Structure formats: structure tokens, C-alpha cells
Amino acid sequence: MPSAPQRPETAAASAVGGPADVLAYLEANRERVLAELLEWLRIPSVSTDPQRASDVARAAAFVSDALGRAGLEAQVHATAGHPVVTAASPPIAGAPTVVIYGHYDVQPAEPLEAWATPPFEPVVVDGRIVGRGASDDKGQLYAHVKAVEALRDLDGGLPLNVRFVVEGEEEIGSPNLPRFLREHRTDLQADVALVSDGAMVAPETPTITYGLRGLVYLTVRVRTAGRDLHSGAYGGGVPNPLTALASMLAGLKDASGRVAVAGFYDDVAELDEVERERLARVPFDRHAFMADAGVTATPGEAGYGLLERLWARPTLDLHGLGGGFVGAGSKTVIPAEGVAKLSCRLVAHQDPRRIADLLETHLRRAAPEGVDVDVVVDGLGEPALTPLDHPAVAATARALEAVWGRPPVFARTGGSIPIVVDLQRALGAVPVLLDMGLEDDRLHAPNEKFEVRNYLQGIVASAVTLRTLATALGAR
């Protein structure tokens, strides 16, 4: 195995309880903490594949054992689907509590032929851990496990109460975790929820993500006849579902790129001056963004910059269209039905259920005569926003600066992690997203990777953050 990058040093090595001792600990244990993660990545815990159910269970047992070795009392809980793993540190009366959330299930690896190496035979190449689940989310979660282990060995125990909640169904929408959290809220209540399941805004740039967008996903089906019809015999005398659907979808946005659904923007809060100032400090290269996406333009809602549109404005996107004949040659048929898939990413204060209702109402009103409309809600997720003035945010910022030698940037993200809202509501925990991955980690794609440096720095950042939170929240 190639050696990991040179041990990172920072000018702030003695601050905030000091990352120096954790760095030294990792220097002595580097090969082991890498080898353990690689062993976990070898388990193909694909939650969506019924044939992998035993592998998913093995992955749950692996992390449960690792948490136990780190000095926590771990349990594997059966659910209606895949297991949930919880763990608790020895209780400290009166101390604050942090719950650390992550998931051990992974996306399918297909297409297998696109991988440079087998997805479940992880390797370390050029300072990168390559394998399915390396960044999403086994690597980031395991950094927290090793941080707890390091604090136990270095300090003789943790400075606050720590709980872990690790699920095996995140990649299929977490169908059982919200109920689990409600049923176990007494044991899992916490002051802060630490979540690492995302990306830093740029390499070597510590990042605190404080905003997540919500989600509405719809299937829209239109039908105009009992069967496909011959266009010569019926053309000019019957409604065409594809023409109708195209018109309905085109009317969802106006010429300025704004969603044209009545009430869609009613609850959207504009960024305040503090957020705009912090947004301006985020290292973002529009041309690099375009090159990465392979596009030649960045259209969107008029009046807002690209980064604000990506992070802090709601969107509406069309994902798929189907219906009629699209094979080789010609077939003169008027199809009986058409279908579209679309979604909205929502920002803080927007209610996904209300937005779904507004979309359905708009589409039904826009349907021409003779067109039956059926709208199915395939998924809903609420947006999340952490107050920037919360003591946990300031404490995490100090810890990250001590580890990286530079202050973190504060970012929102265009993606959605709906379970964060459940952690907030069920457990009373303020979410703090301490992201360790990078945008180019190829999540959900072939050749997923996680930088070794980010894994090791993630361990240090987690350990120092827990120390700092203990001081900051304990003094409240």
C-alpha cells in the first residue's frame, strides 16, 4: 500500500485543545486506520439490491464492532428494512451530547466496465482511496469512529456524551429511520448532530455547510385515448398527449427562468447581508464549473448569481420524457399517453407538500381539453438551515481553523439530505455539517474516491471538534 501524504502541520497546532497529539496518534496508526477502512469498503452493502441483504447486514456488524472497539456501547437494531446501528459513550452527567449520523449502505456499482479497478476491491492510488462507498459515506463516517478511538486513547475518554446513529438505507431514501428516531428519541436526544456526507467547496478548504435544499419529485402522466391511434384516420380530430404535455411543461417557467407556478416563491427567504458577504468569500470558479459539467452556458433565474442559484434558490428541473414511438424508422401513431419526471429543489421555509400541491394544481389547469392528468408524488424532503450564530457553529469553525490553519468557509449546498431535518426534529439537535469529501469524488458514479489526506484530516477535525464542542456547549 502506498504511504499516505506527509503529515499535515498547521500554525494553529496548539490551539483549541490542539490537533498536534491527534496528528501524532495518526502518524503511529496510519496504516491501521487505512487498512480498516479498506476492509469495510470490501463489503458490497448495496441497500437497493435484495440479493445483497446479507452483505448489508455484514456492513452493519462491521461498524458496530468498530464502535465497540472504540469504547462505545454499540447495538444493531432490526427494522422493517436494513438494520440501524447505534452506539453510546459512557455517560457524563451534565455534559452536552453530540449525535454523529452516517450511513453504511452504498450505491450500486454499475456500470462495472467503467471502473478502472473492481468497485469492491478498494485500492490506494496516488493518495486516493478508490472504491464504492469510499466517500459516500463509509470513509467520512469512519473518520468519526477513529476520532472517538483516538480521544479515548489520548485523553482516557471523551469530553462529552457521544451517540452514533448509522443507517443502512440512506441510498434508498431512509424509509425506516425517521420512525426509529422517534421511537428512540429519549436515548438519542442531543444538542448537536454532526453529519459528514458531503463535500468541501474546494481542496484544502475547510467547509461548514449550514444549508441543505429540500426536494419534491413528481411523475406526471397524461392520457387522451383508450389506445394508440392511426394519425391518418384520427389526426386533426383528437388530442395529442405529447403535444399537450410539452405545452404544460413549457409553461412551468417564464422567459426569465423563474418558476411560473403561483405561490412557488411565497416562503423563500432572500439571503441577508452576512450570508452574501460569506458567499462572496467562497472559492468558486464559474469556468471550472462549466468545464466539469461539459456545458457552454449557465442559464437560470434572472437577477441571481450562479452560486446563489446553485445553493440558495429553488429550482425546477425536468428529468425524463416518455411516450409514443422513438425507434428506428417511422410509425404514424398518435400515442394514448405521455409521461414526465420532474423535481424541485427547495430552500429554507418552503414546505415540500405545499409545493407539490401547487405544481399539481398548475399542471391540471394547464392541461388542454380532453387530457386526463395524473400526478404521483415520488419523494418529498424538507430543506434544512442551521443558524450561523449558534455556538456549535462557532466552535466547529474554531476547530477547523486549528486543524487546517485557515478559517473555514460557510456554504450551502444544492443537494438534499432529508434525514437532517428528522435529526433536528426528533432529537432536538442542531445540525452541523462537517464535510470531508470533494466535489470530484465521483459519488454514485464509477471510480468513486476519497483523498487519503482528507480522510486523515477528517479524523483530526472530528476529534478537535468534539473537544471544542465540549468546552463551548458545556459553558452555556
pLDDT in tens, 337-364: 999 999 999 999 999 999 999 999 999 9
Q: What is the pLDDT of residue 431?
A: 96
User: Is residue 8 over pLDDT 50?
Assistant: no
User: Is residue 63 over pLDDT 80?
Assistant: yes
Q: What is the pLDDT of residue 475?
A: 46
Tell me the three cell numbers of residue 273.
447581508
Tell me the three cell numbers of residue 329.
424508422
Residue written as grid cell 469530553: 159
Q: How far is it, in rounded angstroms, from Cα 378 to Cα 380?
A: 7
Whether 238 is in a domain gets the answer yes
Q: What is the pLDDT of residue 474?
A: 84
Sign for the CA dihedral angle at 321, 323, 328, 331 comes to: negative
Whether 173 and 61 share a structural domain: yes
Q: How confident is the model at residue 4 (pLDDT cuts 50, 70, 90)?
A: very low
Whether 201 and 73 share a structural domain: yes
Whether 121 and 248 share a structural domain: no
Paired residues of 411 in beta bridges: 209
Average model confidence (pLDDT) for the chain? Answer: 94
The number of distinct structural domains making up the chain is 2
Question: What is the CB neighbour count within 10 angstroms for residue 243?
Answer: 14
Whether 29 is in a domain gets the answer yes
Could you give phi then psi for residue 214, rounded to 5 degrees? -90, -175
Whether 8 is in a domain gets the answer no
Q: Which residues contact 424 (CB under 8 A, 6 or more apart)?
A: 193, 384, 430, 431
Q: What is the pLDDT of residue 15?
A: 38
Q: What is the pLDDT of residue 416?
A: 84
* DSSP H or E stretch at residue 32: helix 20-41
DSSP string, 275-300: HHHHHHTS---HHHHHHHHT-S----
Whether 301 is in a domain gets the answer no
Distances (CA, A) of 190 to 66, 101, 212: 22, 12, 20
Whether 138 and 225 share a structural domain: no
User: Which residue in 106, 124, 107, 104 sits closest to 62, CA to CA?
Assistant: 104
Beta strands in 66-213 (DSSP E): 73-77, 84-88, 97-103, 123-125, 128-130, 161-167, 192-195, 199-200, 207-212
pTM (two decimals): 0.86
Whether 430 and 322 share a structural domain: no
Residue written as grid cell 450505491: 107
CATH of the domain at 447: 3.40.630.10
Last residue of a domain, one of 364, 380, 396: 380
Q: What is the pLDDT of residue 129?
A: 98
Whether 375 and 456 share a structural domain: no
Whether 348 and 441 share a structural domain: no
Cβ atoms of 4 and 30 within 8 Å: the answer is: yes
| Alpha-carbon torsion, ordered 347, 353, 359, 361, to 10 deg | -150
Whether 131 and 164 share a structural domain: yes
Could you give phi then psi for residue 197, rounded to 5 degrees? -150, 35
User: Which residue in 37, 10, 73 sits closest to 206, CA to CA?
Assistant: 10
CATH of the domain at 346: 3.30.70.360
Q: What is the pLDDT of residue 476?
A: 41
Residue 108 domain boundaries = 20-212+383-474
Q: What is the pLDDT of residues 167-190, one digit of tens each?
A: 999 999 899 999 999 999 999 999
Segment 73-88 shows an average pLDDT of 98
Whether 287 is in a domain gets the answer no
- Mean pLDDT lowest among 216-230, 364-378, 462-476: 462-476
Whether 240 is in a domain gets the answer yes
Last residue of a domain, one of 327, 354, 380: 380
Distance of CA 415 to the CA centre of its chain: 6
Q: How confident is the model at residue 17 (pLDDT cuts 50, 70, 90)?
A: low
Cβ atoms of 97 and 79 within 8 Å: the answer is: no
Cβ atoms of 168 and 363 within 8 Å: the answer is: no
Last residue of a domain, one of 380, 406, 432: 380
Whether 13 is in a domain gets the answer no
Cβ atoms of 347 and 197 within 8 Å: the answer is: no
User: Is residue 240 over pLDDT 60?
Assistant: yes
Q: What is the pLDDT of residues 25-39, one digit of tens each?
A: 999 999 999 999 999
Q: What is the pLDDT of residue 415?
A: 86
- Mean pLDDT lowest among 247-256, 267-276, 358-367: 267-276
Q: How far is it, in rounded angstroms, from Cα 217 to Cα 377?
A: 6
Whether 239 and 123 share a structural domain: no
% of the chain exceeding 70 in pLDDT: 96
Whether 164 is in a domain gets the answer yes
% of the chain exceeding 90 in pLDDT: 90
Burial of 82 (0-12, 13-18, 19+ CB in 10 A): buried
* C-alpha triplet 138, 458, 171: angle, nearest 5°: 25
Whether 239 and 322 share a structural domain: yes
Distance of CA 275 to the CA centre of its chain: 21
Q: What is the pLDDT of residue 9?
A: 35
User: Is residue 382 over pLDDT 50?
Assistant: yes
Q: What is the pLDDT of residues 273-320, one digit of tens each?
A: 888 888 888 999 999 999 988 999 999 999 999 999 999 999 999 999
User: Is residue 5 over pLDDT 60?
Assistant: no
User: Which residue in 192, 198, 204, 187 sits closest to 89, CA to CA?
Assistant: 187
Q: How confident is the model at residue 165 (pLDDT cuts 50, 70, 90)?
A: very high
- Per DSSP, the three-state class of 383 is coil
User: Which residue in 435, 459, 456 sits closest to 386, CA to CA?
Assistant: 435
User: Is residue 16 over pLDDT 50?
Assistant: no
Burial of 45 (0-12, 13-18, 19+ CB in 10 A): buried
Whether 346 and 404 share a structural domain: no
Whether 222 and 206 share a structural domain: no
Segment 257-265 shows an average pLDDT of 98
